[in-house]
Structure 1
Amino acid sequence: MPESMQSIQSAATASSTSDADLLAQTAMAVRAAASALRERFGDVVRYRTREELMRALAANDDAALDVLRPRLSLLRPHARFVEDELAGGALPPGEWWVLDPAEGNVNHLHALPEWAVTATLVRDNQPVLTAVHLPLTGETYTALAGAGARLDGRPLHVSQAADLGLSLVATSQARPDEDEKVVRRIGASITAMLLDALVVRTSVPATLHLLNVAAGRIDAFWQFAGARADLLPGALLVTEAGGRISDAEGRPWTPQSESFLAAAPGVHTEAVTTLSR
C-alpha cells in the first residue's frame, strides 16, 4: 500500500477509535516502552559530572521514546508531543501527548525500583486519559475522564480517611535545581505536616505517590512547583478515583499553579489548613 494511503488509513482508524479503545492501546504502548527500559535496569550507573548524569538520563529517555512515540503517533496522527517533560503551563489548543518516558529516571540509574513510564493525552488543556506502567511489578494504572481509574482493570478508590492526624501523607521535589524560595517552602511544609499528620513520606517521583493516593494507600500528596508530566497522570487518576485536587491553598489546580495537592476528600480541608500556615 502506498505511504499516502497508509497515512489516510491510520488517520481514519484513529478518528473512529473511542477514547476507551484509545486508552487500552495507550496502555499497551507504555508497557512496550517500559519493557525496553527494564532491559536497561540493573547495576548502579556511575557518573562523575553533571554532563555524564545528563547523558545517562537522556539514554534512558531515548530508549523508551523510541518505542513509545511511534506507537502513539499511529494512534493519534494529528496529536502533537510535548518535547520538554519538565515544562509547565497551559498548552495550545488541540491534542497533545504529555509523556514521561522514564518517570523516576534517577531512581532507575541508582538501581532503585521506584520508576515508571507514563503517557497522558490532553485535549484542549484537559487530560482525557492516562496510562502508567510499573515494569518491576507489572502493574498498569489507567484513568479515563468520566469513566474512573483502574489498576489492571480493577476500580480504584481513594481512602476514607477523615482525620489528618491519623493519615499517611507524602511529598516530592519537582526537580533537583529548585529555586531557593521553593526549597524553603518545601522544608516548611514538611515540618508543618510532621506536626499535623501521622507519617510523612518524602521521595521522588511524584507520580508513584499519586498512584498510591488513587489506590487509597496514601491519604494526601502535595508538591510545590512541578511539571505537566509529573502531575497530570496522577491528577487524573486521583480525580477519577474520587479524590480532590487543588493547589496548596485550596484553589482549583491548573498546570500554571505554583503548588499541587491531591487528597482523600475527608482530609483535604485539613491538609489545606496545614499547608497554608
Structure 2
Amino acid sequence: MTTAMPFDLDATFLSAVTAAVEDAGATLRERYTTHARGVSLEEVVGEIYANDDAVLAVMREPLLRARPGSQWAEDELAGGALPPGEWWVVDPAEGNINHVHGMPDWGVTATLVRDNHPVLTVVHLPLTGDTYTATAGGGAHLNGRALTVSAKNDLGATLIGTGQARPGESTDTFRRIGASVTAMLTAGLVVRVSVPATLQLIHVAAGRMDAFWQFSDVRSGLVAGALLVTEAGGTVTDLDGKPWNAASRDFLAAAPHIHTAALDVLASI
C-alpha cells in the first residue's frame, strides 16, 4: 500500500468523524465491566451483538451524514473488494471478545475507504482516551502528535505480531498461523499473538512494535491500521510483496527497513 495523494479530507471533516467515533466510544465504555459476561457460547455471542448494536445506533447516522453519498459496509467480518466509490468500514467494538471478557484491549474504529483504499481513519480507545487519526497524504497522529514507525533494521531485534481474524477460520489457515509463528519465533526477538489486529497495528504505527502480519482479508480489522502505518512511514503489502488494498488476501505491515526480511520469512509459509 502506498500513500495516496491528498483527497478532500479537510480538518472539519476529520473533526466530525472523530467526534462521532469518540461519542460511540463513550457508549461502549458505559457497557464495559471488569468481569467476563456470558458463560455459554450463545451468551457470549449475545453480548457481542449487543455491543455492536448499541454503538452502531449512535455512530452510523453521524458518519453517513458527514459524508453525503458514502455507503456502509454492513458485515464487519467480510473481506474482499468493495464496489467502486466511498464506503465506511467500521468496527463498533474492535476487540469485542476482549470487551465482553473484562479485558482492556478494545476500541472503536471508522475508516473511509475509496475505491478499495483507506483514505481517512479514526481509532478511539475509550479506556485511555487516546485517539489515533490518519488521512491519505496527511500523516498519522496520536492525539494530534505525529507518529513515526520503528527505525529498526535487524529482524532479529524485532517485536512482531499476528493473530486470527475471526472465529471459525479454516484448518489450513490455523496451520499457516502456527507455522508462521514458529518461523517468526526463530527469526525475530519476540512474537505477540493476540486480537484485535488494529490494536497491534497502532503499535506498529507508533514505533512500539515493528511488524504485524495476518492470513486474512477481513477489512474492518486491517483498513484502519493499514492507513495509520502507511502514513507513519511504514510499508504495507500482501504476502506476495504487492501493495495492499481491501481486495488483498493477506497482509503485512512493517517498519520499512525490516519489511523485506519479514516478507522473506513469511513467503514460504
TM-score tier by shorter-chain length is over 0.9
Cα distance in 2 for partners of 1:223, 1:33 equals 27
Q: Partner residue of 1:13?
A: none
- Measure how far apart 1:165 and its partner are: 0.2
- Measure how far apart 1:74 and its partner are: 1.9
Are residue 229 (structure 1) and residue 209 (structure 2) matched? no
Give the share of equivalent positions with the same residue, in percent: 59
Number of residues paired by the alignment?
261
Cα distance in 1 for partners of 2:251, 2:116 equals 17
- Measure how far apart 1:19 and its partner are: 3.3
Q: 2:75 aligns with which of 72, 84, 89?
A: 84
Q: Partner residue of 1:71?
A: 62
- Measure how far apart 1:18 and its partner are: 4.5
Aligned positions of 1:134-153 closer than 5 A: 134-153=125-144
- Aligned CA RMSD, in angstroms, stands at 1.2
Q: Give the structure, 1 or 2, with the largest relative contact order (CA under 8 Å, sep 6 or more).
A: 2
4+ residue runs of structure 1 moved beyond 4 angstroms? none
**Any conservation in 2 of the 1:249–1:273 contact (CA below 8 Å)?**
no
Q: Partner residue of 1:58?
A: 49
Aligned positions of 1:98-177 closer than 5 A: 98-177=89-168
Are residue 21 (structure 1) and residue 12 (structure 2) matched? yes
**Any conservation in 2 of the 1:150–1:156 contact (CA below 8 Å)?**
yes
Give the secondary-structure state (helix, strand or coil) at the position aligned to 2:222: helix
**Any conservation in 1 of the 2:44–2:100 contact (CA below 8 Å)?**
no
**Any conservation in 1 of the 2:116–2:247 contact (CA below 8 Å)?**
no
Cα distance in 2 for partners of 1:74, 1:218 equals 36
Cα distance in 1 for partners of 2:240, 2:180 equals 12
C-alpha distance 267-77 of structure 1, shift in aligned 2 (>3 A)? same
Aligned positions of 1:214-225 closer than 5 A: 214-225=205-216
Aligned positions of 1:257-276 closer than 5 A: 257-276=248-267
Using the TM superposition, name which of 203-212 and 34-43 deviates more.
Answer: 34-43
Cα distance in 1 for partners of 2:214, 2:78 equals 15
Cα distance in 1 for partners of 2:10, 2:83 equals 21
Cα distance per residue 1:145-196 (max 9 Å; x no partner):
0010000000000010100001110111101211000000000000000000
Cα distance in 2 for partners of 1:18, 1:224 equals 31
Q: Partner residue of 2:169?
A: 178
Letter in 1 for 2:53: D
Cα distance in 2 for partners of 1:256, 1:72 equals 23
Are residue 198 (structure 1) and residue 189 (structure 2) matched? yes
- Measure how far apart 1:31 and its partner are: 0.5
Q: 1:41 aligns with which of 19, 22, 32?
A: 32
Cα distance in 1 for partners of 2:243, 2:9 equals 29
Cα distance per residue 1:75-108 (max 9 Å; x no partner):
1232111100001111111211110000000000
Cα distance in 1 for partners of 2:19, 2:112 equals 14
**Any conservation in 2 of the 1:172–1:202 contact (CA below 8 Å)?**
yes
Structure number, greater radius of gyration: 1
The TM-score with structure 1 as length reference comes to 0.91
Cα distance in 1 for partners of 2:28, 2:37 equals 17
- Measure how far apart 1:24 and its partner are: 1.6
**Any conservation in 1 of the 2:197–2:222 contact (CA below 8 Å)?**
yes
List alignment gaps of at least 5 residues for structure 2: 1-7
List alignment gaps of at least 5 residues for structure 1: 1-16
Cα distance per residue 1:170-227 (max 9 Å; x no partner):
1111012110000000000000000000011110000000000000000000011131
C-alpha distance 67-97 of structure 1, shift in aligned 2 (>3 A)? same
